[in-house]
Amino acid sequence: MICFPNAKINIGLNVVEKRNDDFHNLETIFLPIGLKDALEFIESDTLQFKNTGLAIDGDPLNNLCVKAWKLIQQDFAIPPIHIHLHKVIPFGAGLGGGSADAAFMLVLLNDFFELKISQEKFIEYALQLGSDCPIFIINKACYGTGRGEILEPIDVNINGKHLVLINSGIHVPTRDAFANITPQHSQFDLRESIQKPITDWKNYIANDFEKSIFPKYPAIAKIKETLYEQGALYASMSGSGSSVFGIFDEKRDLQNVFPECFCWCGEL
């Protein structure tokens, strides 16, 4: 059985407060995009994991897809499987690639073995695998709060616009990104701001991580600046970095502008 886990971007990301459990409460809008991995499995005598495409470091049996199987296997008598993940979404890029793979594996197991898991239970499982995982269970534009697991579908009027996504390959450790940020509430309501014209978003919608990451990694800041120079209606870093995206009126191929970077474009 095969599926195609997709990436997401964050439109706005406010780090609101530090929690007692060492996580942070956030406010963001998650937007699924068309950049995808490929994930499949077959039943097997032993649990196996194979990776093609972008190489995944570490013990294969510690991969999030394997952890998803183990989580389901605790509650349901499912057999061992052989997993094949073809990795396209860059790592440590603020795109939720690993979280998407884990969430899609949960759904794939449910569908194949007809487990009839409820969406509420899916969210519970997903949150055990990562804060970004629940959005991929719903997998449509949502206003996210809490750790990102409290999700409210929201209308983002960008149909027909085009996205250009740039990843420089710079890895920004998530722990470091949070360590250098001062939590605070935004002066603007993100749900109201997203309803304004896209050209106004830059005045109301921001990613709090840019304040600490851009001075330390000026190459990432330069990507955002260049996207605006190329005509982006709105540009921002996604998640805690390091990918930067621009939203355009028309399709743009900017690989020649960013020759050393991963560059992906698609319609929203």
Domain of 132, CATH number, reads: 3.30.230.10
Work out whether strand 234-237 and strand 244-248 pair parallel, antiparallel, or are unpaired: antiparallel
Residues 126 and 82 in one domain: yes
Residues 134 and 90 in one domain: yes
Q: Is 73 helix (H, G, I), strand (E, B) or coil?
A: helix
Q: At 138, which helix (H) or strand (E)?
A: helix 133-138
CB 156 within 8 A of CB 263: no
Give the domain-ending residue among 113, 132, 153: 153
Work out whether strand 150-153 and strand 162-167 pair parallel, antiparallel, or are unpaired: unpaired
Instruction: Report the distance separating Cα 87 and Cα 105, nearest Å.
Output: 14
- Per-residue pLDDT, 23: 80
Q: What is the DSSP letter of 146?
A: E
- Per-residue pLDDT, 188: 94
The answer on pLDDT for 228 being more than 80 is: yes
Residues 120 and 176 in one domain: no
Confidence grade of residue 222 (pLDDT, cut at 50, 70, 90): very high
Residues 147 and 19 in one domain: yes
- Per-residue pLDDT, 21: 81
Tell me the pLDDT tens digit for each residue of 117-143: 999 999 999 999 998 999 999 999 999
Residue 258 belongs to domain with CATH number? 3.30.70.890
Tell me the pLDDT tens digit for each residue of 146-197: 988 999 999 998 989 999 999 999 988 777 777 778 888 888 999 999 999 9
Residues 17 and 126 in one domain: yes
Instruction: Report the distance separating Cα 29 and Cα 49, nearest Å.
Output: 32
- Domain containing 89 equals 2-153
Give the domain-ending residue among 135, 153, 171: 153
- Per-residue pLDDT, 210: 94
Residues 8, 36, 87, 224: which is the catalytic one? 8
Tell me the pLDDT tens digit for each residue of 5-43: 999 999 999 999 888 887 889 999 999 999 999 999 999
> How many domains are contained in the chain?
2
Residues 36, 87, 101, 132: which is the catalytic one? 132
- Per-residue pLDDT, 176: 74
Q: Is 132 a catalytic residue?
A: yes
Residues 149 and 168 in one domain: no
Residues 81 and 144 in one domain: yes
- Per-residue pLDDT, 129: 95
Structure tokens at 41: 């499995």
* pTM of the complete model: 0.94
Tell me the pLDDT tens digit for each residue of 59-117: 888 899 999 999 999 999 999 999 999 999 998 899 999 999 999 999 999 999 999 99
Structure tokens at 161: 């616009």
Q: How far is CA 202 from CA 138, 144, 158, in A?
A: 27, 20, 15
